[in-house]
Amino acid sequence: MVDAAKEVKAEASYFIDMNRMEAEGHSMGAMLASRRCKSCKKILLQNASPIADSKVHLKRIAECCSQESDYISANMPLLEAVFRIFLASGNRPMSLKEIHNSLSERWTVSGFPKYLPIVMLERMLDRDDFYGISRLSDDQKES
Ligand SMILES: [Zn+2]
């Protein structure tokens, strides 16, 4: 019984709750724009008005910016790295395990092997109030 409960917990999914962030007065468009790669930023600077639509940034980050080798580095704050992992996948909800694997992979590639206990990651995700990282509730899963 205890094992089953534990399993359910490990399957909890997270995503960036952009609607909530916008409702709380954060500009997701600006937050995303600052995670674009150098060459994208150069192009963005030439635009007369900034792109406020976070969907546009999300798409380009997935296609372009997240492919850059310095998109996620091991010396970034952990939650910044997690935020970028979500953006790279178009903000698809991910389980704790997936996020953990993705982080470990990125860190290995960047040459800084790190060890992070999954419970610590969970605690940090649950405490986040800066990036909008939220647990997906059961009703959100169905919609
Ligand atoms: Zn780019």
Going from N- to C-terminal start, the domains of the chain cover 2-142
Q: Which residue is associated with the tokens 């790669």?
A: 37
Q: What is the pLDDT of residue 42?
A: 94
3-state secondary structure of 94: strand
Q: What is the pLDDT of residue 97?
A: 93
Question: How many angstroms separate the alpha carbon of residue 43 from the centre of ligand 1?
Answer: 9
Question: How many angstroms separate the alpha carbon of residue 34 from the centre of ligand 1?
Answer: 11
Picking from 115, 106, 27, 31, the residue whose alpha carbon sits closest to that of residue 71 is 106
* In contact, 106 and 81? CB cutoff 8 Å: yes
Q: What is the pLDDT of residue 49?
A: 84
pTM: 0.86
Question: How many angstroms separate the alpha carbon of residue 12 from the centre of ligand 1?
Answer: 30
Q: Length of the chain in residues, anyone? A: 143
Q: Edge-to-edge strands of the sheet including 13-16?
A: 94-95, 13-16, 133-135
Question: How many angstroms separate the alpha carbon of residue 65 from the centre of ligand 1?
Answer: 3
Q: What is the pLDDT of residue 135?
A: 95
Picking from 97, 28, 80, the residue whose alpha carbon sits closest to that of residue 58 is 28
Q: What is the pLDDT of residue 9?
A: 52
In angstroms, rounded to a whole number, what is the distance separating the alpha carbons of residues 91 and 17? 9
Q: Which alpha helices (H) appear in 34-95, and where do they start and end? A: 38-46, 54-63, 78-88
3-state secondary structure of 15: strand
Q: What is the pLDDT of residue 96?
A: 93
Question: How many angstroms separate the alpha carbon of residue 57 from the centre of ligand 1?
Answer: 9
Residue 132: Cβ-neighbour burial (10 angstroms; 0-12, 13-18, 19+): buried
Question: How many angstroms separate the alpha carbon of residue 8 from the centre of ligand 1?
Answer: 37
- In order along its 143 residues, the chain shows pLDDT tens digits of 555 555 545 578 999 999 999 999 999 999 999 999 999 999 999 988 888 889 999 999 999 999 998 898 878 889 999 999 999 999 999 999 999 999 888 877 666 666 789 999 999 999 999 999 999 987 666 55
Question: How many angstroms separate the alpha carbon of residue 70 from the centre of ligand 1?
Answer: 11
Q: What is the pLDDT of residue 13?
A: 94
